[in-house]
Structures are given as C-alpha cells and as structure tokens.
Structure 1
Amino acid sequence: MKTNSNSYTIIYSAILVLIVAFLLAFVFQALKPMQDANVQLDQQKQILFALNQNRDMTNEEAVKLWKQIIVADDIIDANGKVVKAGKQGGVDAGFKLNSKDAKEGKLALFRCKVNGEDKYVIPVYGNGLWGPINGFIAINGDKKTVFGAYFNHESETAGLGAEIKDNKAWQDLFKGKHLFSGNDTKKIALSVEKKVEDPSTQVDAVTGATLTSNGVTEMFHADKGGLQPYVKFLNSK
C-alpha cells in the first residue's frame, strides 16, 4: 500500500485510535480498584469528621477508627424499620447507598459508638448554587440534638458556597442544635438562616452564599434525600 495514499492514512489512523483506546481501557481497569478504594476511604473520613474525629487523621487511623466506631451501616425504611442490617465497620449495606437510593426511600443509617455513647449518622443530599451538595449529620443518642456535621460539594464557589465544606468553624455551629422545635417532633426544624431567630434550631448562613445556605436547609427539610424521612426513626425509642 502506498504510504502517501488516502487509504493508508485512514487505516493507519484507525489502528492508532484502536491501540490508544485499548491502552486507556487497560489503564482504567487497572487503576479502578485503587480509585474505588480512595472514594470509599474519603466517604468514611467524612462520616468520621461528622462524628468530631480528628480531621488530620492518617488513612491508617481512619480505617482503624471506622472499625471501632461504626457499629452498623443499616438500611432502614421510612417507618424506622431495618430493611438490611449492617455490621461492625460495615461498608456493604447502608454505606453503598447514594442520593438516588435515598430518593427511592432506601435510607442509610450509621449506628455508632463514640466514647461509649450511642450516636447516629444520617447522610443528606441536595443542591447548591452550581451543583449537588451533600452532608452527614451526626445525632446524639437522644435522637433530638446534633452531635456534629460535615458537608461537601462538587462545584460551589471558593470562599463563598465552598465554605460549607472548607469552614470547620461553621460546621461546628451545628453542634448541640435541636432537630425539632418545641414539642413538634413531626417536622425537622433545623435550618440555616440569614437572621437567626431561634438559636436552638438555627445556624447563621454562610456570608455571601445565600443559595448554597438555602440548599443546606433544604437537605434537612426535604421529603426525599433529607432528614425529614428519618422522623419516625428519630421519634422511636
């Protein structure tokens, strides 16, 4: 075949594309287990951060803490009943659920022990200004007050909406807040507000990030993907 012909150029390009595609696919498959492990570890750390664990922990410390602190990663329904029981240091039940599962009524519940005290961690999902946001709310054994919180985002503005993730001091404002207002235990009252009128249930909004702050509140109140679907569990003994 003539090397200066159109046929040669097309065939040469096609073979080259196939070789590159094969190599990329091979590299992707080879690295996927490592990528999956990193994603899993990152999520474990976020849950541990919500439980007020040291944010400077090493990967090895995180794995060890996870096995010690997480009693079970259950899946429950809207009535608070266990649909699938997790296990100590579990990553095969509730841990595997995502926002899509939450919106379908499959609720992840992490049962934990911190310094011998019962804690519960609930994942929440919502939308910020530029994209999805999510978080983990750690709740005390009374099921009525917040023990800790950690929030994450995909594309919020640095220095503004991104503060929900980057500003630990702001996340710490949630500690001790009540999930419900007064005797009304049917509706989640926890919220983020520009003007705090009820310090027991409200946290100051992030300065300059009204829509992202509203998105955090919506994560608490939403019937799908929020705290609200856990109300019956939170009212159970």
Structure 2
Amino acid sequence: MEEKSVNKTNSNGYTFMFAIILVVVVAAVLAFTATSLQPTQKENVRQEKMQSILATIGIETDRAGAQKLYDQYITEEVALNKDGSVAEDVDAFSVDLAKELKKPVEKQVFPLYVADVEGKKYYIVPLRGNGLWNAIFGYISLKDDVNTVKGATFDHLGETPGLGAEITKDWFKKSFEEEKIFDDNGNLVGVSVVKGDIDPSNKDDNKVDAISGATITGDGVSNMISERLKHYLPYFEKQKGFKVATR
C-alpha cells in the first residue's frame, strides 16, 4: 500500500495537477494585486500630469504637492471644439489625446488650461505626435500675447537614450522659453527643431537647436507643436478684446 501511494504521488497526473493549481493561485494573487494597485496607479498618473502642466509655467513640485499647486495656479480647464467653441459636458483634464488623434479632426476636442501666476495669464496646450519609434507628447504654455512661449515639457514612449530621449532634458526644454510661434508675417509656424548655426539668443526666429543624431524625433516635436497649436486659433480669436499676436 505504501509503494502504491508513493507511485501515485510521483505520477505525471499529480505533477500536472499541482502545476495547474499553482498557476491558478499565482494568477489570482497577481490579479488581486493589480486590481488593488489600480487606484494608486491612476492617482500617480493624474498627479504627474499636473506636474507636467505646472512645469510649463515655471512651477516645480513633487507628486505629493501637485494637487495643491494645481488648484492654486490653474484657474480654468476647457475642452474646445474645432470652431473654437467650448465643448459642453466634457472634462478637459480627462481627455485622452491618444484617442482623440484617432478621430477625424472635426470630431476631436482640444483641452486647454488657463493659469494665473502672480497676475500673469498663461495658456497651456497639450501636445502629442510621433517620434522615431513611438509617440511623443508634452505641454507648451503661451504668454498672454499667445505668441511667446513661457515653457514646454516633453516626454516619449520609446525614443533612443542619448538621442531622441534627450527631449526630456532640461537643456532642450529650456531652449523653447521666450521663442515665438508666429513668423514675421503673422503666420502660425510654431517652433522648429532644426540643425545648423542656431543663435539661442535670437527668440524671433521660430527655431531651436536640434539634438545631434535625433533628426526624426526633432521633426516630430516641430510637427506636433505646429499641428496642435493651429487648432486653438479659433478660440483665441473668439475671446472678447483678445488679439491673436501678429507682427
């Protein structure tokens, strides 16, 4: 009897059943853990989004302090239709640009954040485009003239470290500060990332210096800035007493 019991325990069927039970238990534990952490993960993403928005207007904070400073400096959140009207019953903060960009432009909504820092007004526009390997995204803030860049922040899903991934570095982001988005004829051109002899002190040339070896990522940054900003012109032009900057 004892020998039969040992043989049963060492059989393939027993091993297979044990493996199935182990897989089920591990899967259940992982599923429970993922479900339990989901609210925390969502909150972290929400706070990081606030950090990025605030960074464009020169307000730096950690995740823990993001909500308080966001409430202090962001005075308005609006989602816009293509004609510049405000989309009713749309939570601008919850708009997912990745999903919006898959829609026809006429059906997209365009989130906009308005900030007030020591009496100065800023408009913050979310950005999203394509880099070399995957999506690139960020935010750009404009001063009250809707022409001068206050600040910008960028991130990516898969650009090459040391090359395209440099868009996240402070030196690159700071190069956009005080740049103009309209050319001398009043046309919206955004800010282009270009190779060549770029004078960083010239803030009227609509250009910043490119990242060495990251031409495609730089082009992606240029394209997403001009493509996203153009959708906000109807809104700015509709503002009472507001003049869209031209030169």
TM above 0.5, yes or no, is yes
Instruction: Report what 1:193 is aligned to.
Output: 194
Q: Who wins on radius of gyration, i.e. which is larger?
A: 2
Mapped partners of 2:136, 2:236: distance in 1: 23
Note the 1:65-214 alignment, pairs <5 A: 65-84=69-88, 93-103=91-101, 104=103, 105-166=108-169, 168-185=170-187, 187-195=188-196, 196=198, 199-200=203-204, 201-214=206-219
The structure 2 residue matched to 1:5, chosen from 11, 23, 27, is 11
Report the aligned-residue RMSD: 2.1
Give the stretch that moved more between structures: 118-127 or 175-184: 175-184
Mapped partners of 2:110, 2:192: distance in 1: 21
Give the stretch that moved more between structures: 131-140 or 202-211: 202-211
SS in 1 for 2:186: coil
- TM-score, normalised by the number of residues in structure 1: 0.86
Whichever residue aligns with residue 153 of structure 2, its letter is Y
Number of aligned positions between the proteins: 224
Instruction: Report what 2:50 is aligned to.
Output: 44
Query: Percent same amino acid at aligned positions?
Result: 34
Q: What is the Cα deviation at residue 199 of structure 1?
A: 4.7
Q: What is the Cα deviation at residue 207 of structure 1?
A: 2.2
- TM-score, normalised by the number of residues in structure 2: 0.83
Whichever residue aligns with residue 92 of structure 2, its letter is G
- Structure 1, unmatched stretches of 5+, are 87-92
Contact kept? 1:101, 1:107, Cα under 8 Å: no
Mapped partners of 1:145, 1:183: distance in 2: 15
Give the 4+ runs in structure 1 shifted more than 4 A: 196-199
Whichever residue aligns with residue 106 of structure 1, its letter is V
Compared CA separation, residues 189 and 30, structure 1 to 2 (3 A): closer
Mapped partners of 2:120, 2:203: distance in 1: 25
Instruction: Report what 1:30 is aligned to.
Output: 36
Q: What is the Cα deviation at residue 156 of structure 1?
A: 1.7
Structure that is richer in helix per residue:
2
Question: How big is each residue's C-alpha offset from its partner over 1:198-237, in whole Å with a ceiling of 9 and x where there is no partner?
Answer: 8511111122211111110111233xxx222222224333
Mapped partners of 2:48, 2:176: distance in 1: 22
